[in-house]
Chain A
Amino acid sequence: MTTYTLPKDKLPEFLSALSDYEIWAPVKKGPATLFDRLDDLKDVDLDLENQPVISKKAIFPQNEPLFSYDRKGTVTETDLNAVKNTIVFGIRPCDARSFTLLDPVFEGDVPDPYYRARRSKTALLGIACNDPFVNCFCTSIGGSPFGREGLDLLFIDCGDLFTLEVITETGKEITGKASSLLSPATAESSEQIAQAATDKIKRHIDLTGLPEKLASLFEHPVWKEFASKCIGCGICTYSCPTCYCFDMQDETTLKQGRRVRIWDSCMFPEYTLHASGHNPRATRTERFRNRIYHKFKFNMDNFHSYSCVGCGRCISLCPVNIDLIDYLSRVKETE
């Protein structure tokens, strides 16, 4: 593997050397740091907690117009050729891995052209987690704070400089554009820092046998108990890097309209509301159960992986302390 070093103060220069690309990064926006298009290099904020607004929106935007139309009958499809080569910079290994879990969903039997257009033109540049957050549990679910899965280039924070590990051909191409700023790294291994970071992860869960367990608990009263304190907001699903449910909406004015694909949340009553007025998931219990089943059973049945990377955002952001790790442990103990 090729490895380089980049002095930290050269990061803005490194990013400006990549001006051919549209760059997305953690950006300071008022009091919050959010993942967004980077318009001004000085706004990059790497001193980040896991941002609530996450990198998936660079490839799977919260609103995606599919086509527009007007009264004359003109239909204009969204021009996917206009999608630019993009760099998603500063994401965590868990977030990079989340794209590899979204791929089989959007690129399976019926490939989704919108996802494909962005995904195929996007390079993922991640930063290893030297200091995992309080609710990180990536190591329990197949990830690691120094995971390379999904990444093209991994930045490792080594004090005054970053070590850059080139993981893919795309990563090589990108380092080629900024080669004057990079020096070849000595053969020093990052394994020690990686191990130290892994040891800092305090929360763990053994998920062995969980999908089978869930198969036997669908009608169990435990779901009503679990859901009883849920207030039904969508903070867990909107902050989740692997949640991908969407709704289609026709948004019209008098003269024109557009069809838009918009993130949806299984925690909202409208999510499964039928035109007839019937709602097959009429209560919080059913909606809450669906979130757990989708992530830890249905996704396993359909795509052979959990739909979770252990980033811990849903736990940290929940206003009423619905703690996924805690709940999954209790599911395992439920008879």
Chain B
Amino acid sequence: MDIQKLRDEAKRALGRKEIEYLIGYKKGSYGFRISPCFIETKEEVDQLTFSPLCSLSLVNYLTIEGKPLLPADEKKSKAKKVALLVRGCDSRALNQIIAEGGISPDQLYVIGIPCSGVIDLKKIEARFPHTPDPVDVVEENGNYIITINDQSHTVPVDELKAETCKTCQYPTPLTCKKLIGDKRAGNPPQYEDIQILEAQPPEEKWQFWQNQFSRCIRCYACRNSCPLCYCDGCILEKLKPQWVKRSVDTNENFMFHITRAFHLAGRCISCGECERVCPVDIPLMKLNRKMEKDVKELFDFEAGLDPEVKPLLNTFAIEDPEDFIL
């Protein structure tokens, strides 16, 4: 992707008087890290970047408590818009949140970037440890060209790409004002890993998830990095009643993760960020993709494809299947 085109478009957007600021990516403070950034003036546009290292969803910043830099004056901010960079998955997240009434599309100016998938930071940092200086990464002909201190390394894309992105069906943003770069075709849906899990007897599944959830330290990085976890007053913070105890043990951790998976049923857009940020490597996308697969098979529904379509669990049709209800 041509970074200059992105910066030019950002400049044009910031030139519009209704745009308050733009949310994008800039180089991070060290190594392979990218940082979200909030750009208010055309002069700052040159710090904008986009590469396979851009893994965090910027959609989070539209719904986060005390939205960044927006004036406290609600009336003023309502008349204003925020410009936002989105990839395919982010665009689905936006559509889904708009369909749920979480954000008004009138407040947004969306710049779309067709995405070829992001690099899993854990993989690349394990491959190149001790890299404090900022790094450049571009994707070319099935390889990542990684430049560290003027030395370039070529690594096949498959070895570093985030697992979720390998099966991404919608790399091109579905709904946006401007699209920068050429559209990309998605992959066919693929659920082999989920089918393996489904085929296990209940005891084995139970044991598998017990082992996974026993590691959870409840830092909530999965929840907070999820673009669809934007409830004002999350169930985890409720005190009366306290649905999930604050004690961190396998039982309560189960309660947390299963509740979150249920709340994401028909809503998760498979960006995979929850799994990537988990400090203890819990394979959360296996849960989310199982829900996604069920929702697809039972209701022929995929989240976030169209902001006009009502959210799956807010609707009822007489022909909805019900044979899974006990």
Contacts and interface: CB of A to CB of B under 8 A. Distances in A.
Interface of A: 29-32, 34, 49, 52-53, 62-63, 131, 133-135, 200, 202-203, 224, 228-229, 231-235, 238-239, 247, 249, 251, 260, 262-263, 265, 268-270, 283-285, 315, 317, 319-321, 323, 325-326
B281 A32 contact: yes
A317 to B, nearest CB: 5
A133 B36 CA distance: 24
B246 A202 contact: no
A297 to B, nearest CB: 22
Interface string B43-68: 00000000000001000110011101
A277 to B, nearest CB: 10
Contact of A52 (B34, B65, B211, B280): B280
B131 interface: yes
A319 B281 contact: no
Interface of B: 28-31, 33-38, 56, 60-61, 64-66, 68-69, 125, 129-132, 211-212, 214-215, 217-221, 223-225, 237, 239, 245-249, 273, 277, 279-281
A320 B237 contact: no
Contacts, number: 131
B220 A321 contact: no
A284 B65 contact: yes
Contacts of A251: 245, 247
10 contacts: A29-B211, A30-B212, A30-B215, A34-B280, A53-B215, A53-B280, A269-B65, A315-B30, A317-B221, A321-B33
What 4 pairs between A and B have smallest CB-CB spacing?
Answer: A52-B279, A228-B68, A323-B29, A233-B224
Given A63-B248, A134-B131, A233 B30 contact: no
Contacts of A260: 246-247
A96 B259 CA distance: 37
Nearest to B245: A251
A32 B248 contact: no
Secondary structure type dominating chain B contacts: loop
Given A319-B225, A320-B36, A231 B281 contact: no
A138 to B, nearest CB: 15
A78 B76 CA distance: 56
A265 B28 CA distance: 25
Given A233-B223, A262-B247, A321 B215 contact: no
Nearest to B67: A228
Nearest to A258: B247
Nearest to A200: B130
B286 to A, nearest CB: 13
Nearest to A52: B279
Given A62-B248, A233-B220, A249-B246, A317 B33 contact: no
Contacts of B220: 233-234, 268
B245 to A, nearest CB: 5
A134 B65 contact: no
Given A30-B211, A270-B237, A326-B29, A249 B245 contact: yes
B248 A52 contact: no
Contacts of B225: 231, 233, 319
B319 to A, nearest CB: 40
Given A133-B129, A134-B131, A233-B221, A320 B35 contact: yes
B219 to A, nearest CB: 4
Contacts of B132: 134-135, 202-203
A134 B281 contact: no
Contacts of B66: 283-285
